[in-house]
């Protein structure tokens, strides 16, 4: 198999794996907080077809990788009934933050394994080094991207919980147009967006390195 094609396949596998765990975290925390909407919708599943969005889960990550930009993306939002959650807006914030936190943990675990085994630095060859590196950067990209405080991304749910009514009303209004705003940000300000994402990833990687 051509090396470039192999690397794209690896990116896709890592993306799908990361998306599934991200969405399972959302649905699982919602279930623990009293909302069975995700469970009843079949979203507490390892079946990738239940979670992936053809655009944000496949096309965007692959195109970003080919362009040499930081890889990030998303999935179909897990359905959550706010009114069923314990803690209401705080419960929603916990559901939201569980996804990015899961991506952070995947990245950190991959870093620890890759660092102490040497696989991250090429001990096992080029392909294992690529796998561990992409497990780290893809999940950090997912985490940072989803923490952007624009609906329907997870960061907006956390912002909603800690904001006054005026900001909450603005977020509720943006909910109808949030996806469009996100797409415009990606395509109209791709260089700035990629630079901010890359700086964020580098800061976290420096933190990982400091810890070990």
User: In sequence order, what are the residues at sequence separation of 6 or more whose Cβ sits closer than 8 angstroms to the Cβ of residue 108?
Assistant: 208
Report residue 72 as tokens: 């990030």
**Cα four-point dihedral sign 83, 84, 88, 94:** negative
114 neighbors 132 (Cβ within 8 angstroms)? yes
> Of 23, 36, 134, 175, which is the active-site residue?
23
Tokens at 141, concatenated: 């990209």
Q: Any catalytic annotation for residue 126?
A: no
> Encoding tokens for residue 160?
């909603």
Quote the tokens at residue 42. Answer: 């079949």
Residues near 186 by beta carbon (within 8 Å), at least 6 away in sequence: 60, 193
In eight-state DSSP terms, residue 56 is: I
92: its two tokens: 């929603």
Q: Using CA atoms, how far apart are residues 172 and 36, in angstroms rounded to an integer?
A: 23
Question: Would you please indicate which residues are annotated as catalytic (active-site) residues?
Answer: 23
């Amino acid at each position: 198999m051509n090396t470039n094609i192999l690397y794209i396949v690896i990116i896709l596998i890592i993306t799908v794996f990361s998306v599934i765990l991200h969405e399972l975290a959302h649905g699982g925390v919602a279930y623990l907080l009293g909302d069975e909407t995700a469970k009843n919708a079949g979203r507490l599943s390892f079946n990738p077809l239940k979670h992936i969005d053809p655009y944000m889960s496949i096309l965007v990550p692959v195109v970003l990788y080919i362009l040499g930009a930081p890889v990030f993306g998303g999935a179909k939002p897990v359905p959550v009934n706010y009114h069923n959650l314990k803690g209401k807006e705080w419960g929603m914030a916990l559901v939201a933050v569980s996804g990015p936190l899961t991506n952070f943990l995947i990245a950190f675990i991959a870093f620890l394994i890759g660092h102490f085994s040497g696989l991250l630095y090429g001990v096992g060859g080029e392909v294992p080094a690529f796998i561990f590196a992409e497990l780290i950067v893809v999940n950090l990209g997912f985490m940072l991207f989803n923490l952007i405080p624009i609906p329907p991304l997870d960061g907006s749910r956390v912002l909603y919980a800690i904001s006054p009514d005026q900001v909450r009303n603005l977020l509720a209004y943006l909910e109808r147009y949030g996806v469009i705003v996100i797409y415009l940000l990606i395509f109209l300000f791709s260089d700035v967006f990629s630079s901010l994402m890359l700086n964020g990833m580098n800061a976290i990687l420096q933190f990982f390195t400091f810890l070990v």
